[in-house]
Structure 1
Amino acid sequence: MDKQNIITSIIAAIGTSITWIFGMWDTALMVLIAFMVLDYATGVIKAYISKVISSDIGFKGIAKKSVIFIVLIVAVLLDKLLNAGTWVFRTLVCYFYIANEGISLLENCVALGLPIPEQLQNALVQLKDGNKKAVNDKHEQSEQ
């Protein structure tokens, strides 16, 4: 096997593993990752400008975002266990954390003195509240 085939095989194996772990590479996952990166970046900018930058706080932020991926993996595994052919829990988790990260991102922007359109804030709050309602409805159905 030449080097190119080895590299191609390694990349394919990594891609397959990531797809199995996180479900599929779709818009929800891309938006979640983008919001996580943007939230972290705005948090670092906010800390730098307010002169409270701290490696401990930065590490805690990275740790929290890592746990989001753990919750996402749990949701994917539950969807696989149900074998319904849909990504119910994975989608709920993605949307919930997209809203959560988006709200945090906007809070960082407000702290930096940027005006934020109220409609954008409302959309993220509705997304988060809608996910809470969907999870509560599922929980109530499972208790019956």
Structure 2
Amino acid sequence: MGTASAGLFTWLFGSWEIGLQALFYCMIADYIMGILCGKKENKLSSDIGFKGLKKKFTILIILTLAVMLDRLLGQGWVFRTLVIYFYIGMEGISILENAARLNVPIPKKLKDALIQLQEGNKKEIKDQDTIDSK
């Protein structure tokens, strides 16, 4: 059963490498942080918790779509990597926002790095467009 589960996991999500590990960590940490914030603010709700789980499940569906697209195109993990980085950025920012709600100071450079990760190469593309338009 364990081998079959591992095979299914790998088929759905690709290899269990650091990017995927980081995404799973961020998704779990964000969910836990949401629970802690809900408890602190006396807004703990099963409806809100279920909504959070639906969001995480949807992220995993989008990830499997990216994996299937990469397999179809046969060019390596292009879309999978893009999706993983985007959602690590999004989940990481949410973790920092929840930490701020819990009165935990946030390192600005960490937030900036997560925003850059989520946005990808937009800044580089913008800079490149400026150079080309001269």
- Say yes or no: TM over 0.5: yes
**Which residue identity lines up with residue 55 of structure 2 in the other structure?**
K
Could you tell me how far 1:14 is from its partner in structure 2?
1.1
**Which residue identity lines up with residue 124 of structure 1 in the other structure?**
L
Q: Does 1:91 align with 2:81?
A: yes
Q: Distance in 2 between matches of 1:14 and 1:130?
A: 32
**Which residue identity lines up with residue 116 of structure 1 in the other structure?**
I
Q: Distance in 1 between matches of 2:23 and 2:48?
A: 21
1:17 maps to what in 2? 8
Q: Does 1:80 align with 2:79?
A: no
**Which residue identity lines up with residue 60 of structure 1 in the other structure?**
K
Could you tell me the TM-score, scaled by structure 2's length?
0.89
Runs of 4+ in 1 over 3 A off after TM superposition: none
Q: Give aligned-pair identity as a percent.
A: 49
**Which residue identity lines up with residue 36 of structure 1 in the other structure?**
M
Could you tell me how far 1:90 is from its partner in structure 2?
0.2
Superposed, 1:21-100 pairs within 5 Å as: 21-84=12-75, 86-100=76-90
**Which residue identity lines up with residue 113 of structure 1 in the other structure?**
N
1:78-121 deviations in whole A, cap 9, x for unaligned?
A: 0001012x100000000000000000000000011111010101
Whose radius of gyration is greater, 1 or 2? 1
Q: Distance in 2 between matches of 1:15 and 1:57?
A: 31
Q: What residue ranges of structure 2 are gaps of 5+ in the alignment?
A: 126-134
- SS of the aligned residue for 1:126 comes to helix
Could you tell me how far 1:76 is from its partner in structure 2?
0.2
Q: Does 1:118 align with 2:75?
A: no
**Which residue identity lines up with residue 29 of structure 1 in the other structure?**
L
Q: How many residues align?
A: 124
- SS of the aligned residue for 1:113 comes to coil
**Which residue identity lines up with residue 99 of structure 1 in the other structure?**
G
**Which residue identity lines up with residue 88 of structure 2 in the other structure?**
I
